Amino acid sequence: MTRVAIIPARGGSKRIPHKNIKEFLGHPMLHWPIAAAKETHKFDRIVVSTDDPDIADCAKAAGVEALMRPDDLSDDYTGVVPVIRHAMWTLPGVITTACLIYATAPFLRPEDLRRGLDALEGADFALSVTSFPFPIQRAVGVTPENRLQMFYPEHEQTRSQDLPEAYHDAALFTWGTRDAWFSDRSLFGAGTVPVPIPRHRVQDLDTAEDWTRAEYMGRALIEAGEITAP
């Protein structure tokens, strides 16, 4: 059995230029998830899939492999699944289990990945998720007339504690079997098991404001001993 971590890291980020290798609390962003993957001691190899030579050099500096992907898998519209498939096809040997790890996951911990691998037993995928901080059934939208409108008006008077908790993709990792990655099965379907991550270790990194907030979070997490720097 060959178990591989694949970290997609494209070079074309526009809102935060070069965010995959931008310095985050003294280290390239890419080095944070690489360090977590290495500390699990669960992978036969760790590979960064990229189209950018600078990212490839950053991956090698962290002691892992870099796999250059073709141009048709490097545009703004390419999803992660084709990237994972390309890596699994290209790398030597038969990969039986692959873990997609996001390049911008500085709060990922080795034990998160180990829990995901354990959860994969008997499933197609094991996906990191976190809970919404507010009941989604009480969400509101804004109409074209600039007025509020509930998405689920039937729950206007329902107490928050009486509503089921909802979750979303934490964008840290997804474990999957070879058969699952090469199938049309949904990452959010009945074959996927959740791996819950606490909300205080989940942060999107799409804007400069996100980045600043993540740095505050990271300092607090390091001080609390919840994460360690690479």
Which range marks the domain in which residue 193 is found?
3-129+168-223
- Beta-strand pair 97-101/167-177: antiparallel
To the nearest whole number, what is the mean pLDDT of the chain? 96
**Mean pLDDT on 63-88:** 91
pLDDT at position 77 over 90: no
Report pLDDT digits (tens) over 165-218. Answer: 999 999 999 999 999 999 999 999 999 999 999 999 999 999 999 999 999 999
Q: Is residue 56 part of a domain?
A: yes
Note whether residue 55 is domain-resident. Answer: yes
Amino acid identity, position 127: L
In a domain, 153, yes or no: no
Q: What is the pLDDT of residues 124-133, one digit of tens each?
A: 999 999 999 9
What pTM was computed for the model?
A: 0.95
pLDDT tens digits for range 141-158: 999 999 999 999 999 999
The two beta strands, 125-131 and 167-177, are antiparallel
pLDDT at 14 > cutoff 80: no
For residue 45, is it within any domain? yes
Count of the separate structural domains present in the chain: 1
The answer to the question of residue 154 being in a domain is no
pLDDT, position 89: 95
Residue 20 is assigned to a structural domain of this protein? yes
Percent of the chain beyond pLDDT 70? 100
Provide the pLDDT confidence category of residue 71 given band limits of 50, 70 and 90: confident
Helix, strand or coil for residue 5? strand
CATH code for the domain of 31: 3.90.550.10
β-bridge pairing 97-101 and 3-8: parallel
Task: Say what the pLDDT of residue 208 is.
Answer: 94
| Residue 136 included in any domain | no
pLDDT class for 111, splitting at 50, 70, 90? very high
The pLDDT score that the predictor gives to residue 195 is 98
Amino acid (one-letter) located at 186: S
What is the per-residue pLDDT for 73?
86
Question: Mind listing the pLDDT tens digit for each residue in 22-67?
Answer: 999 999 999 999 999 999 999 999 999 999 999 999 999 999 999 9
Cβ atoms of 142 and 148 within 8 Å: the answer is yes
Instruction: Check if the beta carbon of residue 103 is closer than 8 Å to that of residue 84.
Output: no
Instruction: Establish if 218 belongs to a structural domain.
Output: yes
**pLDDT for the residue numbered 15:** 84
